[in-house]
C-alpha cells in the first residue's frame, strides 16, 4: 500500500492523496470498518484534500459460466461482462453495454438503464465482512432505484447472476441500439456520470435544463451543454464540482420547489 492521488482512479479525474491498495486477488484480503472501496471509479468525487482512510481499488476480474449462471468477480467491468454474456446467448445484461462501472459497484447502486437493472439478474452476492465471507441470496436483498438494501458492511468480492437463454444476434442488436442511444445523448469528457437522481420519476436533467443552467461554470467544472445532468471537468478541482452541485440544487429548488439529491458519492472532507 502506498500514497497515491485518487484522481488517477476516478472517472472525474480529480482528487487528493490516500493510502491506496490495488486488489487483484481477494484471497487473504481483510476488511476493516472505515475502508473505502472503489471499483472503476464512476459516480465518485474525492476531496482535493484526499482522505486518511484506506482505499481499496478492486481490480479482481474474471467470470465463470455454468449454464445460465455467471459468477463474476467484483472488479470485472460490467460492460465487458455484458458483452461476454451476449456472445454466449445469455440475456439480462445487454442494457449494460457501454456502462463504465464495475460489477461490485453496479450491485451497490443497482445500476440500470433502458428499463433493465442489475437487481433483475442477481442471484447471490459474496461479501467479505470483518468476520469473513458471507453469501447473500437475492431474496435477502431489496433492489430499488439506484440502491440495494440488505448488504452487510464489507467488500463485495463476487456476484452470481442468473440469466436466460436468448438469441445472441438479437441480443447484440439490442445492445448496439442501447449503446448508440447512450453515445448520442451523453457528453464526452471527464465526468462522474449522472450527477443527480431522478425526482418523482422525472429526470434531474429536465429540471436543470429548464432552470437555465446548461453551460454554467464554476472554475473547471461546468454543466454539460449536451446533457444537463452531467458535470464536465476540464482542469478543475473537486471543490469546483461540489460548489456547482450546490448551486444547481439551490436554483432548481428556487425555481421548482424540487430538492435534487446527488447520485455522486463523496470521499473525504469538502
For cell 439506484, the residue is 146
Q: Is 2 a catalytic residue?
A: no
**Active-site residue (options: 19, 209, 255, 263):** 263
Q: What angle do CA 4, 230, 92 make, to 5 degrees?
A: 90
Beta strand 265-267 with 44-46 is parallel
Catalytic residue (choose from 11, 21, 123, 146): 146
d(CA 233, CA 188): 11
DSSP per-residue letters across 141-176: -EEETTEEESPPSSEEEEEEEE-EE--HHHHHHHHH
Q: How far is CA 158 from the centre of its chain?
A: 16
Q: Cell numbers at residue 102, please?
A: 464495475
Helix (H) or strand (E) holding 85: helix 78-87
217 as an active site residue: the answer is no
Q: Which long-range contacts (CB under 8 A, 24 or more apart) does 206-210 make?
A: 207/252, 207/255, 207/256, 207/258, 207/260, 208/248, 208/252, 208/260, 210/255, 210/256
146 in active site: yes
**How far apart are alpha carbons 80 and 263 in whole angstroms?**
23
State the Cα–Cα distance between residues 118 and 107, nearest whole angstrom: 6
Active-site choice (17, 194, 224, 242)? 194
What span, in angstroms and rounded, lies between the C-alpha atoms of 22 and 39?
10
- Point out the residues that are catalytic: 146, 194, 263
Amino acid at each position: 500500500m502506498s500514497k497515491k492521488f485518487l484522481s488517477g482512479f476516478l472517472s472525474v479525474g480529480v482528487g487528493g492523496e490516500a493510502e491506496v491498495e490495488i486488489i487483484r486477488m481477494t484471497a487473504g484480503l481483510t476488511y476493516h470498518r472505515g475502508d473505502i472501496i472503489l471499483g472503476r471509479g464512476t459516480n465518485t468525487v474525492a476531496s482535493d484534500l484526499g482522505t486518511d482512510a484506506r482505499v481499496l481499488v478492486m481490480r479482481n476480474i474474471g467470470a465463470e459460466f455454468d449454464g445460465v449462471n455467471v459468477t463474476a468477480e467484483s472488479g470485472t467491468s460490467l460492460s465487458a461482462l455484458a458483452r461476454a454474456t451476449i456472445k454466449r446467448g445469455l440475456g439480462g445484461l445487454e442494457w449494460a453495454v457501454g456502462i463504465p462501472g464495475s460489477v461490485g459497484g453496479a450491485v451497490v447502486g443497482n445500476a440500470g438503464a433502458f428499463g433493465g437493472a442489475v437487481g433483475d439478474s442477481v442471484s447471490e452476492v459474496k461479501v467479505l465482512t470483518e468476520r469473513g465471507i458471507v453469501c447473500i441470496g437475492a431474496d435477502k436483498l431489496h433492489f430499488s432505484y439506484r440502491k440495494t438494501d440488505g448488504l452487510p458492511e464489507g467488500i463485495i468480492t463476487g456476484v452470481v447472476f442468473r440469466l436466460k437463454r436468448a438469441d445472441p444476434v438479437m441480443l447484440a442488436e439490442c445492445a448496439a441500439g442501447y449503446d448508440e442511444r447512450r453515445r448520442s445523448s451523453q457528453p464526452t469528457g471527464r465526468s462522474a456520470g449522472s450527477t443527480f437522481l431522478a425526482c418523482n420519476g422525472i429526470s434531474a436533467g429536465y429540471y436543470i435544463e429548464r432552470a437555465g443552467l446548461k453551460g454554467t461554470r464554476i472554475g473547471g467544472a461546468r454543466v454539460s451543454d449536451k446533457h444537463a445532468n452531467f458535470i464536465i471537468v476540464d482542469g478543475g478541482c473537486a471543490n469546483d464540482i461540489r460548489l456547482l452541485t450546490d448551486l444547481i440544487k439551490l436554483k432548481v429548488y428556487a425555481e421548482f420547489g424540487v430538492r435534487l439529491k446527488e447520485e455522486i458519492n463523496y470521499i473525504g472532507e469538502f
